[in-house]
Structure 1
Amino acid sequence: MIKKLIMNADDFGMTQGNSIGILMAHAQGILTSTTCMMNMPYAEFALKEAEKFPHLGVGIHFVLTVGRPLVEGAKSYTDKDGNFIRPKDYPDGQPHADKDELYTEWKAQMEKFIAITGHKPTHIDSHHHVHLLPWHQEVAIRLAKEYDLPMRQRDQILDTYEYIRCDDRMYGDDANYDFVTQAFSVDEEALEFMCHPAYIDQRLYDMTSYCLPRMKELELILSPEIRKFIEDNNIELINFSNVKKIK
């Protein structure tokens, strides 16, 4: 059984509805952490609302595959209209960003987070896990070390903070009690469990095919059964601000 759990909601700031859902998942459920998409129109709304919840860890969700970049002019990941190219429109279904362009864009996203909040995010991850693509890892690691932050990992690629494995398998029908409690019943010190709870608004419905299952995830995170399982097994709820430096 794990001893510590980071329950992290991706896509904070994508829409007003999903941001409110994430905040409710923290205020009334077991959610401990979230990550904000800084190129989304509700990013500032989400970050300002999060200030009301001092125990919620808020990281940055680097974006490369939806919406518009903050820095104009990049050629390696934008279409003719200047929008990020969606994964389905790449020949192999994955973005391949120029490292210099990617560093400039993600640093701009980081600096916007800091400008709005007045502080660094708790950690780094990314939309569609693009920071973990082998050809993007160098940029992600560079930024993690530059800003002295932990980062979402599957296999360990960052050597400055203790390694916490991310379990990113909860989607749709997997949002149920048995699946989640089995995921927690592994022999590891700590685990990050990724989720996407939300209230559905029109913008979210129009933006993503992964929409209605987010409400199912929210219901699960709010459920007293999950809360009781965590309490009965003495699992400590933490966020990335509790992750220890190792160098």
Structure 2
Amino acid sequence: MKRLIVNADDFGLHPLINEGILESHQQGIVTSTSLLASGDYFEDALSLSKTTPTLGVGLHVCLVGGLSPVCDPKEIPSLLIDGKFPMTHTEFIKRLYTGRIKGSELRKEIEAQFQKVMSTGLPITHVDGHQHMHVLPQVLPIVAEQMKRYGLTKIRMPDETPFLMNGVSSLGRWIGKVGLTVITQQAYTISRDFGFSSPLYFWGMMNGGQLREESLLAILKKVAKKQGVHEIMTHPGKDNHTLRSLYDWGYHWDEERAAMTSARVKEYIATHDISLIHYGQWTEGERS
């Protein structure tokens, strides 16, 4: 059986992203989303979640992206640059591996993010991370502690096959993907030791922020050939112009929303025995 989780990241970041995610769920194939505790529009996302119980909701650990922390910036200065998280994962990793980030402050912020999300009472289905920083060896044990604390058992492992380019010619993006895949393979050991589970296949890293219809269909053709649980990561939203003026990430939110609601995409899934689910709708034993 081919079971597919389609997860929209960055829920709570901006109303136009929240709207895009909701539309991609109600009119398309998105089954799951990841809630940003540090998002400026967290409360808006929370309200939408409570009125849309069919949408699975996970916790999106955030340590990068130029966003604000949940903690008072004065309490975690080593994690921040001018009061915000580093813009890129490269900058965060560099600061982490040169010892400029204090472990106690890292733990304090992650604990605060978990506490904020879990206190909402939403049935949180899984954990993942903004730019996948949750799988770093210095970060994952802290995340795992919090997952154990709150009884969470599902976690994203972003190990997309290094051989998939899927129309993207960026060497830098490919190198970053391969590096993260290596880290993720090591993270599996920690995850399994804690008794956590992850989908067998992960897709969307190479096309992150630019998962158009043709790229999505190419991934779905691979999903159709592989039994097991898959996850596709997406970033739908509305109004590229407005969002790009706020977030300099080079994302194509409108195009991803169009892909998620595409009639061709929905027809392909319906005719290839692919079952759409969210993280809360599969059992841990399905990973192997």
TM-score by length of 2: 0.76
Distance 1:44 1:129, change over 3 A: same
For the 8 Å contact 1:3–1:188, the answer to whether it is kept is: yes
Partner of 2:136: 133
1:238 to 247, 253, 277: 277
**2-structure distance, mates of 1:58, 1:138:** 22
Residue type at the aligned position of 1:34: T
1:187 to 223, 226, 239: 226
Partner of 2:173: none
2:102 to 94, 98, 104: 98
For the 8 Å contact 2:210–2:253, the answer to whether it is kept is: no
Partner of 1:68: 68
Partner of 1:171: 208
Tell me by how many angstroms 1:161 deviates.
3.5
Three-state SS of the structure 1 residue aligned to 2:68 is: coil
Aligned pair count reads: 243
Higher relative contact order (CA 8 A, sep 6+): 1
Unaligned runs of 5+ in 2: 160-184
Stretch moving more, 12-21 or 119-128: 119-128
For the 8 Å contact 1:60–1:113, the answer to whether it is kept is: yes
Instruction: Give % identity.
Output: 28
Distance 1:172 1:46, change over 3 A: closer
**2-structure distance, mates of 1:77, 1:129:** 16
1:122 and 2:125 correspond: yes
Stretch moving more, 196-205 or 30-39: 196-205
Tell me by how many angstroms 1:201 deviates.
6.6
Three-state SS of the structure 1 residue aligned to 2:84 is: coil
Partner of 2:87: 86
Residue type at the aligned position of 2:13: M
Partner of 2:43: 44
For the 8 Å contact 1:200–1:211, the answer to whether it is kept is: no
Three-state SS of the structure 1 residue aligned to 2:5 is: strand
Three-state SS of the structure 1 residue aligned to 2:77 is: coil
Tell me by how many angstroms 1:134 deviates.
2.5
Runs of 4+ in 1 over 6 A off after TM superposition: none
1:108 and 2:109 correspond: no
Stretch moving more, 203-212 or 18-27: 203-212
RMSD: 2.4
Stretch moving more, 49-58 or 25-34: 49-58
For the 8 Å contact 1:14–1:42, the answer to whether it is kept is: yes
Tell me by how many angstroms 1:214 deviates.
1.4
Tell me by how many angstroms 1:61 deviates.
0.8
Three-state SS of the structure 2 residue aligned to 1:9 is: strand
Partner of 2:9: 10
2:243 to 200, 204, 207: 204
For the 8 Å contact 2:211–2:255, the answer to whether it is kept is: no
After superposition, give the CA deviation of every residue in 1:18-71 in whole Å (9 maximum; x if it has no partner).
Answer: 110000000000000000111121011011112221110011111111322111
For the 8 Å contact 1:124–1:152, the answer to whether it is kept is: yes
Partner of 2:177: none
Residue type at the aligned position of 1:162: S
Tell me by how many angstroms 1:183 deviates.
3.8
Distance 1:189 1:63, change over 3 A: same
For the 8 Å contact 2:213–2:262, the answer to whether it is kept is: no
Three-state SS of the structure 2 residue aligned to 1:90 is: helix
**2-structure distance, mates of 1:89, 1:152:** 20
After superposition, give the CA deviation of every residue in 1:174-202 in whole Å (9 maximum; x if it has no partner).
Answer: 52334232342342401110000110276
For the 8 Å contact 2:224–2:273, the answer to whether it is kept is: no
